[in-house]
Amino acid sequence: MKKKLLVLLSIMLLLFAPVYTTTQNVLANSKHQSTTKRVFNDRNYKGKVNDKNTSTSVLPFIKDYKTGLSIKQKINDDGTIHVRYDGNPSLIANFQTAIATWNKLGVIKFKIVDDSSAVVNVHGNLTSKEDNDNPYYIKGNLGDTNNYVDYNSLIVLSDGTKMNYISNSNIFLYSDVSKLSDNNKNHIIIHELGHALGFDDLYSQKDRGLMMFYNAQTGSTLLNKLGSDEKNSLKHYYQ
Ligand SMILES: [Zn+2]
């Protein structure tokens, strides 16, 4: 009986092994949360097709689960969004490249600071122990972005779209990121910063070439670029 159970377990492990390999490719998952512990992740969204609006080219922004409203960063009085990196120093250059990549679009401007004025805080892990110390960590994930919503804010865009501000964002880069090539490290950080700006993941296969596509083949060369889709979307939501 025990032997049979072992055999069954082994078969199950074999069956699940390929599935696990696939989840290694999940780029990033958390969407948004209030002060509750609720965490949204890509796995909850499987089957939901979140794609680019083909008529306006605007990419989808995260909708808060409580209000159904999209969220974005509030711009500081100095015209920038303050962001701080406090993770492992080995990822600092990649963090700086990712910041520069968003700034190059010329719509919003991230400013790297080293004080509590930062509304986006980026944490980078190097060890699996650090990963496991994080209650949000799900094995196999490369990164998470948790956005907290300011429910007392209300923004109405010129087309009538209502939004809330994000009060602060925490980006977690997990230890598997440190094993990637520089190009792919950059990609993961650019992607997570996209979530902090409000961008949601894209799930439609036709959007596979875009930065916010939810899943990436680790080991392959990721796109690592932003273009007119992201630029026009930022203009839509931020100007
Ligand atoms: Zn993502």
How far is ligand 1, taken at its centre, from the CA of residue 11, in Å? 32
Of the chain, the percentage scoring pLDDT greater than 90 comes to 52
How far is ligand 1, taken at its centre, from the CA of residue 13, in Å? 27
How far is ligand 1, taken at its centre, from the CA of residue 77, in Å? 28
How far is ligand 1, taken at its centre, from the CA of residue 35, in Å? 21
Q: What residues does the ion ligand 1 have nearby, CB within 5 Å?
A: 27-28, 201
Instruction: Mention every residue, 6+ apart, whose C-beta is less than 8 A from residue 81.
Output: 73, 75, 108, 109, 110, 111, 119, 120, 197
How far is ligand 1, taken at its centre, from the CA of residue 7, in Å? 37
Tens of pLDDT, residues 61-96: 998 878 889 999 999 999 999 999 999 999 999 999
CA of 207: how far to CAs of 56, 86, 167, 213, in Å? Answer: 15, 32, 29, 6
Rounded Cα gap, residues 83 and 87, in angstroms = 13
Q: Structure tokens of 23? A: 């989840």
pLDDT number for residue 3: 54
Q: Structure tokens of 187? A: 């990609």
Q: Which residue type sits at 172?
A: F
- Domains of the chain by range and CATH? 2-238 (3.40.390.10)
Tens of pLDDT, residues 1-50: 455 544 444 444 333 332 222 223 334 344 433 332 223 333 333 334 46
Confidence (pTM): 0.80
